Structure 1
């Protein structure tokens, strides 16, 4: 249908095709005799019987493929079949793991589907409805069962959508059905679904011609819509992926070569511009990093299937993105919920990239056996080949991504190992949060400290803005003021910028520091610094310091994963209270003048999902130089006691005591191991002989120094 309401004849498809192609000779012959219906039949016969181009691996061992899905992917198959059955009843619930905006409440249309329906004032639901990911489930259900009702539902809903949603005359975002991001995603999902449904007699020659006309309209719409903003946005990749796939899947279109060239150019440009030198997509959201990565992987795979190789530079960038995802992943294989991100498992993506690039290290981060989605993409031969690709442990444990400002401390690659993620990078646009100096902590198989997620994208929900605020992250604030000002769902005014990160990593410790300028605009500017030291394999020391002239109140925020949390009244030791499981102890070094409290809060690990959690805040009021130091000790299950932590006096080598505004030291005792650590933190860079301090009779010189007493031996390490 055209925008003016005129219905396009299915015969119009012939004007869009290169009828000089030898494969279309029967179509051309029928047209030359004015047998248009026969020409549609010939076109249908050709398209549904050709072996190339293809969208997925053709599987001659169909039953073996189905058997594998049922044996190794039963949980995913259950979700797909449930979704397909619901869609047959016109019930929609967006529940797939990588659905960008999942829903919690099913919506059923008793009469015709309202393609512009907005429940609970969240337009993202309408956008999800018009991306048609659920039609892929219908296609897979049909491929497994042969039940024509799945094909019937797909064909009926597809034709209804085409008839009632004409393409606009010009690209526009003032629409629920034809934003360019939806148009691109629709192309990919329609082609997937068609590849599963094409053998059904319900996909008639007339309907297939209408689908081709609509995909042609989609492609022209996308070809005309590109802007400089698209080059820097995930939108540019997602919509170009749809354009490129249509060009490859339907090379019979006379415009296909032009679309393919545009697609290749735009994929190369978006990768060059959006993917930073360390492999992380600039928008500072793991969810959108992975959405972009999967689109790139789809294009590379589809190109290879059809005898093409995309530019080396693009493929190298995409491989870098997958490597970044590997190191980003927590020991439970899930991405950090940085920015607008959910608590999503990345193994399917690493499985995809590992097999596509034949990379044993990426395969290490993937599933032991090829998962549901990839089994459909690569077929039985891919499943068998993946089993033969030997996993190789990554060459590094801890890793810095300095261009984008991400730092990962890791004790090992076991699911029980300790992990800390620290962020000191740029905002990343609308999907970014005020999360500078935020960190996640995961240990012994549990999230301990975490980002709170995104909840949804609706300005009608106050929580959306609240979850983007500084205080909603494991960072610091001054006088209760956020360092970046959030104005609405997508906009900011005052934006803090990262300053001066440093990273050191070796087998015994990791060290990171970072700062930002978010409080330098105050009438009395505040300069701050966060330092995190990982003393392997036991604990972290968190050091926050502030410098100003007038009095301010400085706060540290700690957001816990769901579960009970308690804080002692006098020591302010904060501890999770997970019985029979691992816990986290936060132990302040200096409680003089310190205030502490625990508040109730919420966490959103999926879009539209809320759970209760708790939030600890430590505060100290002062002027000049002020610091707060905590030991972060992950406590293994069954271990009854936390380490003993106490301040230690510091002296200059000339004998004078050192004021705490200049340097502080703490002793950490592990009685059960007969081991003791002393850590010295200088709040000023040592610059003269007078800055050579003495602690417990030991003379040192350095900004951060570790002294370990164990087994009757003493070891002094200058960390920084």
Structure 2
């Protein structure tokens, strides 16, 4: 997770928060709120709270806790996605092994389990221990305090009604709240923190409401435990009011803040929490979403994170009665357009930057409900049973700089994505001009995707140019990370070429930000990608030396296949089902690297099915060319439903025409544009 630019809410929120919570000697245990402070935050004039008001008036905190807890247990609104009173309806239900592990305090975070024994150290991190077998990964501590184990315990209790799960939850709740007092003077987004603002938002916006309702009918979740939970939940709201960040983090923070205010209107500040959260989210729909619908981090997985959190207030409308303006909902439509038009034929997102290929059909079901006039959303959501496919096939996202070339909308159609846009606000890879290709229901040309956020060589690999399908210069990666940060997000589209014709489509973009650790501007790389209909992709790389020196160019192709066959400058994947043939025209030679660790990592793909830190070897073609001046390198890519065959015998290109020669000598000329525009 990238480091976030911190912002503080000046004025009333921060001042009140510090005034109410800071004493001469801050308590070392939580919660910070005393009983008196907690009940002072409740609007006891509301209907149903007369007994609470009476108990508070006489400072009988035990009675006040009981009265408030009884009110919450019996109220019918706000509600949740399930009925808390139906706990124990399936006593013979199979309980998740994760719940049984949580009973024994064997807690898992990011796929690594740790047996704590009697006492849980919420600041512990097994990956930072001197004898750790895992590379350092601060996500372990951070994500432990997202409390997934409490959901596991809660689901086990809700299914079976067995109090042992509730007893353990309450014990862990007390342990966490006492050991992890909320920060007051400033947010804590450091390593080992239990109160990063992102975790506070995730807890408040999903995990804790779920856990609260799962255990609401449990005897162990008694008046004291419920009050402890709510004290901390209120502290979450006041913390998130006082401190906020940016990017997808802010959507999680605001969604969490909104949930506290919507689910517990009994608190005096509930309406203010909701209003502030909705104001922040509304602003972010313009700040962090480009006009073309892409979220500014340009990682489809985090696009989904933001969408999920933008949806939070909308999803709560039927549960809480808290209204959301129609204008807010309308702003979200373009984010669903991004899912639709970038979607692979396999109905998954592109695996760009720190993202895997996530499912799209679920998002389209949501989009179809929110925007019933969008027949295309319904078509994807129902797998073609209803609605209609989009009227366009290939698509350009001008601000994201992503180009999608596709043959159609069937799951067996051809699809290529070129990433030719800005670096992005966060979760970036050094991968400008990289391409990926899917055809006949299979990913054929892949890139590094996402690997766990640790300090390993594997993590460095997926971030680097080496893990992508692009050109390296003299063994050097691209280096956009050293560019001014204000270039990471653009105010207008970067210049490119985008043209569509009956017989071909063409996209082109430029990389000139620099190479190597010093971002040396030694070469300008212009990449043209042609979709020659119906079944041929052509990549044309123009490489211009800016320093007057010769350079070694290495063009990479990462194949998602067990093996490949090499014939001269042709490489064909060997696999069951769909395959890909690549032929180079102008390269000096080609080498295949698979599963290499030294001298540099190459020929690997992250594989979550192999467990924490899983990777698998994949064949990677490296075409080499040593040259000075300005050169063109051309590549033909032909996917096939079965054993791939390369029908192209020659490619040539000048400043106006691409010429394709096929077996038998037939030539086709394609007059293309070099007019770059925004």
For Structure 1 versus Structure 2, the TM-score category normalised by the shorter chain is: 0.7 to 0.9
CA deviation after TM superposition for structure 1 residue 329, in Å: 2.5
Q: Does 1:185 align with 2:210?
A: no
Cα shift readout 1:404-453 (whole Å, capped 9, x = no counterpart): 11122222333222111111111113411111111110111111111212
Q: Does 1:484 align with 2:479?
A: yes
Q: 1:329 aligns with which of 332, 340, 343?
A: 343
Which position in structure 1 is the counterpart of 2:268? 254
Which position in structure 2 is the counterpart of 1:338? 352
Which position in structure 2 is the counterpart of 1:166? 181
Taking the aligned partners of 1:523 and 1:433, their CA distance within structure 2 comes to: 18
Cα shift readout 1:441-478 (whole Å, capped 9, x = no counterpart): 011111111121232323x3233223212232111222
Cα shift readout 1:198-245 (whole Å, capped 9, x = no counterpart): 12222111111111111111111111112xxx24x2111111110111
State the secondary structure of the residue aligned to 1:540.
Answer: strand
Q: Does 1:555 align with 2:545?
A: no
- Count residues in correspondence: 622
Provide TM-score, normalisation by structure 2. 0.83
Which position in structure 2 is the counterpart of 1:526? 523
Q: Does 1:541 align with 2:548?
A: no
Taking the aligned partners of 1:81 and 1:368, their CA distance within structure 2 comes to: 31
The structure-2 alpha-carbon separation of the partners of 1:319 and 1:9, relative to structure 1 and needing over 3 Å to count, comes to same
Gaps of 5+ in 2: 1-20, 128-135, 595-602
Q: Does 1:576 align with 2:573?
A: yes
Which position in structure 2 is the counterpart of 1:716? none
CA deviation after TM superposition for structure 1 residue 567, in Å: 2.0
Taking the aligned partners of 1:13 and 1:666, their CA distance within structure 2 comes to: 75
CA deviation after TM superposition for structure 1 residue 347, in Å: 3.1
Which position in structure 1 is the counterpart of 2:469? 474
Taking the aligned partners of 2:84 and 2:390, their CA distance within structure 1 comes to: 33
Which position in structure 1 is the counterpart of 2:604? 602
Which position in structure 2 is the counterpart of 1:373? none
On the 8 A contact 1:422/1:437 being kept in 2, the answer is: yes
On the 8 A contact 1:184/1:222 being kept in 2, the answer is: yes
Q: Does 1:433 align with 2:429?
A: yes
State the secondary structure of the residue aligned to 2:496.
Answer: strand
Taking the aligned partners of 1:427 and 1:587, their CA distance within structure 2 comes to: 30
Which position in structure 1 is the counterpart of 2:6? none
Gaps of 5+ in 1: 71-76, 95-101, 370-388, 651-659, 687-702, 704-720
Taking the aligned partners of 1:209 and 1:27, their CA distance within structure 2 comes to: 13
The structure-2 alpha-carbon separation of the partners of 1:685 and 1:33, relative to structure 1 and needing over 3 Å to count, comes to closer
On the 8 A contact 1:484/1:496 being kept in 2, the answer is: no
State the secondary structure of the residue aligned to 2:48.
Answer: helix
CA deviation after TM superposition for structure 1 residue 46, in Å: 1.2
Taking the aligned partners of 2:387 and 2:98, their CA distance within structure 1 comes to: 33
CA deviation after TM superposition for structure 1 residue 546, in Å: 1.9
Which position in structure 2 is the counterpart of 1:99? none
Taking the aligned partners of 1:260 and 1:27, their CA distance within structure 2 comes to: 24
On the 8 A contact 1:12/1:213 being kept in 2, the answer is: no
Alignment of 1:299-314 (within 5 A): 299-314=313-328
CA deviation after TM superposition for structure 1 residue 330, in Å: 1.8
Taking the aligned partners of 1:176 and 1:496, their CA distance within structure 2 comes to: 29
CA deviation after TM superposition for structure 1 residue 82, in Å: 3.4
On the 8 A contact 1:476/1:555 being kept in 2, the answer is: yes
Which position in structure 2 is the counterpart of 1:643? 647
Q: 1:420 aligns with which of 411, 416, 422?
A: 416
Taking the aligned partners of 1:48 and 1:285, their CA distance within structure 2 comes to: 41
Aligned Cα root-mean-square deviation (Å): 3.4
Taking the aligned partners of 1:125 and 1:41, their CA distance within structure 2 comes to: 37
Provide TM-score, normalisation by structure 1. 0.79
Cα shift readout 1:137-165 (whole Å, capped 9, x = no counterpart): 33333333333333333222222211211
Q: Does 1:405 align with 2:372?
A: no
Which position in structure 2 is the counterpart of 1:678? 668
